[in-house]
Amino acid sequence: MLEMGMRPYSDVPSPQPRSRRRTWIVLATALAVVVALAAGGIWWNASGSEMWARARWQPPPTAYLSSPMGQAPVPGWRTSVTDLGVPPAAPGGDAARIAVSNEKYARDALIDTLDNRAYFLARSSEPSGTSWWLTGLDAIDGHTLFPAVQLNIGERAPECFLNGPDAMVCLVDDGSAATAWVVDLRGGEMTYTGPTPLRLFPARTLKAERAGDYLTAVTEKEGVYGVGPKAELTWFIPGSGAVWGPAKDIAAQGTGGNYVFFSLADGHVITPDVPDGAVFDEVRFNVDGFSARVLYDGERFNPTVESFDLNGKKIGTLGRKGYPVAAGLYIDGSVSEWKVVTAEGTRLLSVEGHDPYDTLLIGSTLYVNESNNAQMPHWQPYDLKSGDKGKSCEIHLDERYLGTDGTIAVRKVTNPQVDLIAKAFNLKTCEMVWSLPKEANSFGRIWRIGDTLVQVSDDGTELNSLVAPS
């Protein structure tokens, strides 16, 4: 007989089900942790790593316009062609002008710029014919750099090239031979006038070509020559004659996997930091380096695009299809997606779709042209600090883009047959905020020199800066 208060053995709860429940709880918790960690890893790989990289990334300095552009600018300093040292027109002759022609595809009167210094070609009328002049101006305050230097007399305008920071070489080619004028830009002294082996007309031998801030002579399938103080040939780099770049004074010559990197200042050859047997292709320069598709010996069917500094030192691996868009910034594209990466290969942003047709970095915002129609651009902004996608604009931010104050973008109107010289747009709203008129078919042009907008008057006789109204 059972004692009171005692239960049959069969009524006593078995400890086995409780232990099984504990096991299932532990397993479920562990599984949840694994799932959470996996999800966290996926988030980190897909988004978190980009957020971390964007937080650490610093955009390169943006060269903003010095004057606010919220309202249509007005003339600041003014400098006439005679202020630059060009003599006034002879009686009955055409006025002296800072211009070559008002035709649609005529050569630009602005030869080149170095920081805030600008060099223009001017013309004056003399009894013996048209006289051509080299002039220089500082865009900060409009003062002349040196008295105008007379070049040739005749209807054929010279073609001028910077040859380093201190020299300008101007050439006239009559079809059978060429003559050179070499000017020291530090004081406007003519240091050489005479024959030169360089040629201007389309030729396969010693064709004068600009490469950055230097003049070179290129011979097809032979190589590239430097040009000296008497417009003579100096250093020589054998090769195809096809020159790429440059960035600063570093360029590359070659095609189809055979590239040589060299200094434009003295022809010094630079050897990139890659193993022997590696082959370069698709070289593209940035302002502070270059990218190249590298095919390593034994891996010819598995190339990678890598980034290098201007000394040839490897910085990082970009992927299969990388190319530069700004200082230290590259695009790595694929069939269905493109990525913004740093020179080290760190990913900042991933976007589905076709590679950009053009790009422009302003501050930390990358503007991407998603249209392959030049007449119908579609610029989509991406904030590379936040990853946010902004309002797209159907405006031109291509080679016609002059600059921005950070809010307003200014672009030039290049057709001289229309009655506008420039337009400005709000980068946030895409709305046009002002336009600058000019006389149609006139000599009026607009340029950016350093951080200043400069225009030439409709009659070509005066230069002036463009500044915010006071």
The domains found in the chain, sorted by start residue, are: 57-467 (2.130.10)
Residue type, 379: W
Task: Give pLDDT tens digits for 296-335.
Answer: 876 767 788 999 999 999 999 988 888 899 999 999 987 6
Average of per-residue pLDDT across 252-259? 83
Confidence at residue 126, expressed as pLDDT on a 0 to 100 scale: 83
Confidence at residue 45, expressed as pLDDT on a 0 to 100 scale: 46
pTM: 0.87
**Please, what is the average pLDDT of the chain?**
88
Q: Are 420 and 434 in contact (CB under 8 A)?
A: no
Query: Is 80 exceeded by the pLDDT of residue 11?
Result: no
Task: Give pLDDT tens digits for 341-379.
Answer: 999 999 999 999 888 999 999 999 999 999 988 788 999
Confidence at residue 280, expressed as pLDDT on a 0 to 100 scale: 87
Task: Give pLDDT tens digits for 331-350.
Answer: 998 768 899 999 999 999 99
Query: Is 50 exceeded by the pLDDT of residue 29?
Result: yes
Residue-wise DSSP of 220-264: TTTEEEEE-TTS-EEEEEES-S-EEEEETTEEEEEETTEEEEEET
Confidence at residue 284, expressed as pLDDT on a 0 to 100 scale: 93
Confidence at residue 202, expressed as pLDDT on a 0 to 100 scale: 72
* Percent of the chain's residues with pLDDT above 70: 87
Confidence band for 5, pLDDT divided at 50, 70 and 90: very low
Confidence band for 94, pLDDT divided at 50, 70 and 90: confident
Average of per-residue pLDDT across 2-23? 42
For 53, 55, 350, 357, 386, the CA distances from 347, given in Å and listed in that order, are 7, 12, 8, 20, 13
**Coil, strand or helix at 450:** coil
Query: Is 80 exceeded by the pLDDT of residue 259?
Result: yes
Query: Is 70 exceeded by the pLDDT of residue 207?
Result: yes
Average of per-residue pLDDT across 390-396? 93
Average of per-residue pLDDT across 423-439? 97
Query: Is 60 exceeded by the pLDDT of residue 91?
Result: yes
Q: Are 281 and 292 in contact (CB under 8 A)?
A: yes
Query: Tokens 């032979």 belong to which residue?
Result: 222
